[in-house]
Chains A and B, each alone.
Chain A
Amino acid sequence: MLTVTGLRGGYGSIPVLNGVDLEVGTGVAAAVLGSNGMGKTTLMRALMGFLTVTAGQVVLDGRDVTDAPPQERARAGFGYMPQGQGVFLRMTVRDQLRYAMAAKGRPAGSLPGILDRFPALTPLLDRTGDALSGGERQLVALACCLSTRPRTLLLDEPTEGLQPSFVDQILELLIMLKRQDNLTILLAEQNLEFATALCDQVSIMRKGSIAATVPVAAIREASTDVDLLLAGEL
């Protein structure tokens, strides 16, 4: 369960978030949709503690983490996948997975559990991050993010710039994980198709706040026109 109330913040004196209100129930996948510059990535970074918020509150599973540093949020149950292929470029895939375990104080040895879920990574274990393709990097980033079994995933445009086969692969994986682990997911996305395939609710972000939240069913039945919502005409 993730509850965000009146979140404000930005970079230096430039405000980007102008009071974000959002609620994602346990086991629910929610998408934040919006075009570039509307504050999606800033929202994700603020939720993870990478920028100082000036007002508002972030509550994760009943715990107020508004002022907690990133590592504490990660340990409180957030799994964060940053925008743009978040892997260590000069580290092998094996070490990245071990790192993800060690970072949260778990024994760094046990990779089999992760590799069961990500068999595609087995042949890549000895490659360094800079020798991976974009899709492979996203898989590694997702595997690292999931390796310590977080309860709430923050995914910042996980399919940006990927070829369709990888998009499908990541989508299938996320749908399976959501069902198996009852994961709560907050997805920042521009791709409506991907968002509606994975999520239960879609929020439209416009100029640093949530303009509207609609159930995905309403979009599927075409009773709500997302294009008009995005354009700010509804």
Chain B
Amino acid sequence: MDLALVVGLHLMHAIASLALVSIGLAVIFGMLRVINFAHGEFLMVGGYAFVLSAGAGVNLWLAMLVIAPAAVGMLGYLVERLVIRRLQGDVIATILATWGLSLFLVGLAATVLGYHQQGVAPPFGTIEIGSYTIGIYTFFVIGITVVVILALFAWLRWSRAGLLVRGTMQDGELAAGLGADTVRIRSATFVLGSALSGLAGAVLAPLAGVLPEIGATYVVKAFITVISGGATALTGTTLAAALFGLTSQAAAFLSRPVVGEVALLVVAVVLLRVLPTGITGRYFRKAL
């Protein structure tokens, strides 16, 4: 019974982590169709923004929930203004430019901050479940993921800004013809995706630590999750994160963590073979 509970919590935590890592990319790539190869580095910058400001004595929650998203949101604003907008949807150029940006950010972090950055220990301590010990922070990660996803759904579904974003993503020309400032809407959406990545990087930092190259461990999983999710970015990414998080964590329990990683890739390959347009290419087409 205790084991089942602990295993269940670990599964949920795996799903939540994957969803967190992917949610910013779900907005930037899933909705805007901008291939941001620097997505992992956006998470890394969020992690550093959190760790450095917390280390400088800023309140932990302020650093995690406000400073990290704001910092990466600003980074996203600059990247959209100076790079993405100028490439006007040229896919190859965008991949090259964001890849370059990724290398630049890694190099910058390694040069300026080095590899011995003091981390932040997970707050809250631990609790005992029978003979097992689990960090209370695990519950926090699950909780904040649920809150972020629900808030994003509600915002898209019911707010005026969410309405403008939905239409503009579906058909940019129709939107512009109706008078929507599509350039500004796309820019704001990019900033939102960046801020979500910053938040994710900060939330995961106490568990994963922060290193200049940590983005590389996130970016592949995030792209696989969003692509497998399909055209309906938010629902698709959530479902894909649930599927992949579940299988990889289950496989990791039954064998070793590396087998979990392999299981994720195998499931992704099979899924995309069966549903080439992702989960929402066939199901949940009317979701958000």
Interface centre among B163, B178, B286 (most CB of A within 10 A): B178
> A108 an interface residue at 8 Å Cβ cutoff?
yes
Q: Which listed segment binds B: A26-34, A96-104, A160-168, A217-225? A: A96-104
CB contacts between A and B, total, < 8 Å:
77
User: Is the Cβ of A71 less than 8 Å from the Cβ of B173?
Assistant: no
Given the known inter-chain contacts A90-B285, A91-B167, A108-B163, please indicate yes or no for A99 contacting B178, CB distance below 8 A.
yes
Starting from the known contacts A71-B176, A104-B179, 13 additional A-B residue pairs (CB-CB under 8 Å) come to: A70-B173, A74-B176, A75-B179, A86-B174, A88-B174, A90-B170, A90-B232, A91-B170, A96-B167, A99-B167, A103-B179, A108-B163, A148-B179
Return the CB mask of B168-182 against A: 1 if under 8 Å, else 0. 001101111111111
> Which of B175, B183, B232 contacts A103, CB < 8 Å?
B175
Distance in angstroms between the alpha carbons of A102 and B158 in the assembled complex: 13
Residues of chain B lying within 8 A (CB to CB) of residue A98: 163
- Shortest distance from the beta carbon of A52 to any chain B beta carbon, whole Å: 13
A102 CA to B178 CA, complexed, in Å: 9
A-B contact pairs, 15 of them (CB 8 A): A50-B173, A75-B179, A80-B177, A82-B177, A86-B171, A86-B174, A87-B174, A88-B170, A89-B171, A99-B163, A99-B166, A102-B164, A102-B180, A104-B179, A108-B160
Knowing A89-B170, A90-B286, say if A74 contacts B163 (CB, 8 Å). Answer: no
**Contact status A99-B176, CB under 8 Å:** no
- A21 at the B interface (CB under 8 A): no
Q: Is the CB of B286 within 8 A of A128?
A: yes
A71-B180 CB under 8 A given contacts A89-B170, A99-B167, A108-B160: yes
Question: Which residues of B are at the interface with A, using a C-beta cutoff of 8 A?
Answer: 160, 163-164, 166-167, 170-171, 173-183, 232, 285-286
Closest chain B CB from A129 CB (angstroms): 9
| B182 and chain A: residue at smallest CB distance | A71
The size class of the interface chain A forms with chain B is 20 to 34
In the bound assembly, the distance between CA atoms of A95 and B170 in angstroms comes to 13
Q: How far is the CB of A206 from chain B (nearest CB, A)?
A: 26
Q: What are the residues of chain A within 8 A of B182 when measuring CB–CB?
A: 71
Q: Which of B174, B175, B232, B285 has the most CB of A within 10 A?
A: B174
What is the chain B residue whose CB lies nearest that of A89? B170
- A: residues with CB less than 8 A from B are 48-50, 69-71, 74-75, 80, 82, 86-91, 95-96, 98-100, 102-105, 108, 128, 144-145, 148
When chains A and B are docked, how far (Å) is the Cα of A148 from the Cα of B180?
Answer: 12
Q: Is the CB of A102 within 8 A of B160?
A: yes
- Docked pose: A86 CA to B163 CA in angstroms: 17
Closest to B183 in A: A69
Residues of B within 8 A of A105 (CB): 179
- Pair B174/A95 contact, Cβ less than 8 Å: no
Kindly list chain B residues whose C-beta atoms are within 8 Å of the C-beta of A74.
176-179
Residues of B within 8 Å of A49, CB to CB, are 176
Q: Contacts A71-B181, A71-B182, A128-B286 hold; do A88 and B167 have CB atoms under 8 A apart?
A: yes
A95 touches B163 (CB 8 A): yes
Q: Tell me the nearest residue of chain A to B161, going by C-beta.
A: A102
A100 CA / B174 CA spacing, docked (Å): 10
CA A69 to CA B177, docked complex, whole Å? 10
Report which residue of A86, A96, A103, A128 has the largest number of chain B beta carbons within 10 angstroms of its beta carbon.
A103
Which residues from A are CB-within-8-Å of B167? Answer: 88, 91, 95-96, 99, 103
Q: Across the interface, which residues of B come within 8 angstroms of A70, CB to CB? A: 173, 176-177
10 cross-chain pairs, A with B, having the tightest CB-CB distances, nearest first: A74-B179, A103-B180, A104-B179, A70-B176, A103-B178, A80-B177, A103-B179, A99-B167, A88-B170, A71-B181
Do B164 and A99 have beta carbons less than 8 Å apart? yes
Contacts of A99 in B (CB 8 A): 163-164, 166-167, 175, 178, 180
A71 CA / B170 CA spacing, docked (Å)? 16
Q: How distant is B116 from chain A, measured CB to nearest CB, in Å?
A: 49
The residues of B that contact A48 with a CB separation of less than 8 Å are: 177
What's the Cα separation between A104 and B170 when bound, in Å?
A: 17
**Bound Cα distance A100, B164 (Å):** 9
- State A102–B181 Cα separation when bound (angstroms): 11
Partner of B163, one of A71, A102, A104, A128: A102
Measured between C-beta atoms, what is the minimum distance from A219 to chain B in Å?
A: 31
CA distance A49 to B183 in the complex (A): 14
B-side contacts of A102, CB under 8 Å: 160, 163-164, 180
Complex contact B178–A104 (CB within 8 A): yes
Residue numbers in A under 8 Å from B164 (CB-CB): 99, 102-103
